[in-house]
Structures are given as structure tokens and as C-alpha cells.
Amino acid sequence: KEEEAVFLRQKITLLRAFSLLVGSMVGSGIFISPKGVLKNSGNLGVSLIVWFACGILSLFGALCYAELGTRLTKSGGHYIYVMETLGPLPSFLYLWVEYFAIWPANVAVISLAFGRYILEPFFAPCGAPLPAVKLVSLLGYYTVLILNCWSVSWTARLQIVLTVFKLLALALIIVPGMMLLAQGHTENFQDAFNSQSLVLDKLPLAFYAGMFAYSGWFQTSFVREELVRPERNNPLAVIVSVLVEDVLASQAVAVSFAQKAFQSLISVIPILVALSCIGTINVAIITFSRTLFVASREGQWPPLFSMIHIRRHTPLPAVMLMFPLVTAMVCFGDIYQLLNFFSFSRWLFIGLATLGLIIHRYRHPELPSLFKVPLFIPVSFTIICLFAVTMSFYSDPVYISIGCAMVLSGFPVYFLVVNRPIPDCCQATFYYLTFKLQVLLEVVRQEIRTY
């Protein structure tokens, strides 16, 4: 029977897709990135220019992904776009570095921000102890992880509620700040373009921090198969959410320099920001578990992770696989070091995905596209992403080199493990362990669907 079939249901409506996108962008950057942008820009004037440029660039990227979502109908986001356009080796390298570097570092950043903000009112005016921050960060992450194992519908509903809290937090920052600016409190904008503090060699890192604030416009591409009317709702949700984010980010950053007079809001905003971070963690778990699910289905990850719980209809093994590395990075990492560490690999592969859009257009001109952007948009976006990735080697050679080494380490794994059949001597053990875990977790392969 259809109601008893085991597959991922199309439960993500336009409103839920919009909450995934806006919730991810608002929670992941506006409350974390301003310090990184200002520090690496050198002065206020250049930092505002960086914010504006990152907003335009994010809109270009979102438009490219909206077109990719109408051309390629599978879930998986960056992974499936790179695989379908550039081939299995680049897609595996992305998967490899995403699992071991990008995704856990990203979630660790947001989890640490959650722990810091949720504890801030209890320790003010002092800072919260770091062990307490890390413990609360992990508790928040584990709570959201368990909910994602339980129900897709409930996680989507939670995301809508948390998105409302995110927008409320921004309103409490933007409105008082605009009132102060209207009253003439512009002292923080004096000498905004002071050249003595300008640090041009750090601008790629400012770009990473700014793009981190806008990142999230690609999230619906990871759950494309679960969208209701994806050919309509995917591009619509992406474009509207990025336009909303452009407005919110530009105002929130501008007025954040004029907040000190509104002390009555100090105790409320950290709680709302913490809830905002929980929403971003929720989105990250939803989306990356689908990447592992699709990669397993494509034969580049162990088959257990393409299985679904027989009653909950959630990709349980893929969700559970993610917690060990996040736990390690929360315990041993620092927010801004982690930000530089994973940004190199993320923007490298996003640039390759938009390069793949150009190649896919050339190879398949006969394919109809319900949504098509001018060619200069993917060309500009790809060039800027790859240029920033290259220049970041000069700005932060240590952490960027580590990120590059993570990408290169995937080559031997691909050729020695993924691209070869399982040796006969190991097959029995491998399938026995898979079967036992399948029984323990109560999961089965999803029924075949046409995407």
C-alpha cells in the first residue's frame, strides 16, 4: 500500500522551504559574522562594502542554484550537482571533505554560538566559562539530532517557529538601532574609511565571514525530492529568501554599531539569538543527512546510509552518523578558526557546482529549463569564488592549507576504496555487519522512485 511504502515523503511545503532558507541564513551569520568581517576589513567603511558585495554575490549564487534545481531533480545539493555535471571523482572529494571538515565545523560554529548566547544572561557582566559553553552547545545539538531521527514533519514545524524567533531578534536589533541613527547618533561612522587600519591581505577572510552570514540559500537543493511542487517552490523560495536576507543583513550590520544605549534589550536578545542558532543547526542536520543518503544511493558511501526507518520514514543512519565529528570539533575548536577552516572547501565546491551549470548548459542544450539566468551570472560567481579561494592561501596559510590537505586526502580513498569493488575476503563480513545494523536500527532501503 502507498501509505505503507518506505520512502522520503514530500512534506516540505513552500512555507517550510522558506523557513529552511531564511532560518539557516539568519541564524548562521548575522549574529556571528560582523566581528570577522570588521576585523579582516580593517575599517567600518570597507566592511560595509564587503557586506554589500557579499549580498550581491549570494544573490548570484542563489539564482544559479535555482536553475540547477530545475535542471537536476535529485536531492543532495552541491554533491549531486557536482556529480551530474563534473563526474564522480569531484563529487566524492566534496563528500569526503564535507563529512570530515565542512559540515562538522559549520555545525560546531553554530553550536558554540548557541552555548555562548544561551548562557550569557546568567553570567553577565562576566563571560560564561568555556567548559559550560561547550557542554550546553552539545546538549543543544544532541536535542535537535534526536528530533531529526524522530520525525521530518516535526522538524519542519519546529523550523517555522524558530524562524519567527529569528525575525523577532532581528527586529529588536534593527528598530532601536534605526531610531538611534535617526536621532543623529552617527559617531561610530566617523572616519569610516580610515586607511591606516586597512588590511587588504585579509579581505578574502572578510569575504568568507560575510558569505557565511548569507550562506543557506542552497539548503532546499539538499531536500529537493521532499519538496511539494519542487519545480515551482524551489526557485521561488530561494529567490525570495535571499532578497529578505539582503535587507535584514544590511540593516542589522549597519545599526549594530549603535546599540549600546538600549540596555533593556540585552537580556532578551541573547535568548532569541540562541533559538536562532538552534534553527540553523536543525537545517544543517536536515540537509547534510540527505547528502549522505543520496551519496549512499549513488554508491559512493556505505549502503546502510541510504536506508530509512520503517515507521518514522527518516534517514536514521545518515542522521546518526554525523554526531562524532561535531562533538570533537565543539570540544576542541574555536569559532573563527573553524570558520576559516571550512570556508575554503565550501566555496571551492560551490564554485565548481556553478561551473558545472555552465558545462551542463553546453552539453545539454536540448533540455528544457523552467528557470534560466543570464550566462554572466554563473560566470561571475564562479570566477569570484575561485579567486577568493586562491587568495585565501595568502591570508591564512595554516588553516587554508589544512583544508586543502583534506580535499587532496580524498584522492587515494577514491581510487583505492570507492572506485574498486569490495574484496571477496571482506564481502561476507561487510554485508553481515550491514545486516545486523539494519535490524538494530529498523531501517530498510527506500522503494525506487523516479526523480
CA distance 99 to 326: 10
What is the three-state SS of 77-128? Answer: CHHHHHHHHHCHHHHHHHHHHHHHHHHHHHHHHHHHHHHHHHHHHHHCCCCC
Query: Are the C-beta atoms of 134 and 362 separated by less than 8 Å?
Result: no
Q: What is the pLDDT of residue 265?
A: 54
CATH of domain 14-445: 1.20.1740.10
| Residues near 103 by beta carbon (within 8 Å), at least 6 away in sequence | 284, 288, 322, 342
So what's the pLDDT on residue 35?
66
Q: Is the model more confident about 378 or about 197? A: 378
* More confident position, 25 or 74: 74
Q: Please tell me which residue, 3 or 278, carries the higher pLDDT value.
A: 278
Average of per-residue pLDDT across 99-117 = 84
Instruction: Tell me the β-bridge partners of 309.
Output: 443
* pLDDT on residue 261: 42
Model pTM above 0.85: no
Residue 93: pLDDT band with limits 50, 70, 90: very high
- Judged against a pLDDT cut of 60, whether residue 159 lies above it is answered with yes
Distance, in Å, from the CA atom of 307 to the CA atom of 318, rounded to the nearest integer, reads: 8
Q: Which residue has the higher pLDDT, 94 or 192?
A: 94
User: Residue 136: what pLDDT?
Assistant: 93
Backbone angles phi, psi at 191, to 5 degrees: 55, 45
Could you give the CA distance from residue 5 to residue 2 in angstroms, rounded to a whole number?
A: 5
The CA distances from residue 274 to 112, 158, 269, 304, 344, in Å, are 10, 14, 9, 34, 26
Do 293 and 306 touch, CB atoms closer than 8 A?
Answer: yes
CA 179 to chain centre: 33
- Tens digits of per-residue pLDDT, 323-339? 888 898 888 766 556 66
Kindly state the cell numbers that stand for 142.
Answer: 544532541
User: How confident is the prediction for the chain on average, in pLDDT?
Assistant: 78
Asked if residue 2 has pLDDT above 60, the reply is: no
* Cα distance between residue 39 and residue 289, in whole Å: 34
Contacts with 210 (C-beta within 8 Å, 6 or more apart), sequence order: 33, 37, 50, 51, 53, 54
Q: Residue 152 contacts by C-beta under 8 Å, 6 or more apart in sequence?
A: 8, 9, 11, 226, 286, 313, 314
Mean pLDDT of the region 28-42: 67
pLDDT tens digits, 199-231: 666 777 777 777 777 777 777 777 777 777 776
CA distance linking residue 245 with residue 237, whole number of Å: 12
The stretch 422-426 carries a mean pLDDT of 76
The C-alpha cell at 233 is 517552490
pLDDT at 113: 83
Give me the mean pLDDT over the 58-64 stretch: 86
pLDDT at 352: 92
Residues present in the chain in total: 451
pLDDT of residue 251 exceeding 50: no
**Cell 569564488 belongs to which residue?**
385
Sign for the CA dihedral angle at 181, 239, 285, 36 comes to negative
Please return the burial class of 409, using the count of CB atoms within 10 Å of its CB with bins 0-12, 13-18 and 19+.
middle
Beta strands 307-309 and 443-445 are: antiparallel
Q: Which of 359, 279, 412, 304 is nearest to 86 (CA)?
A: 359
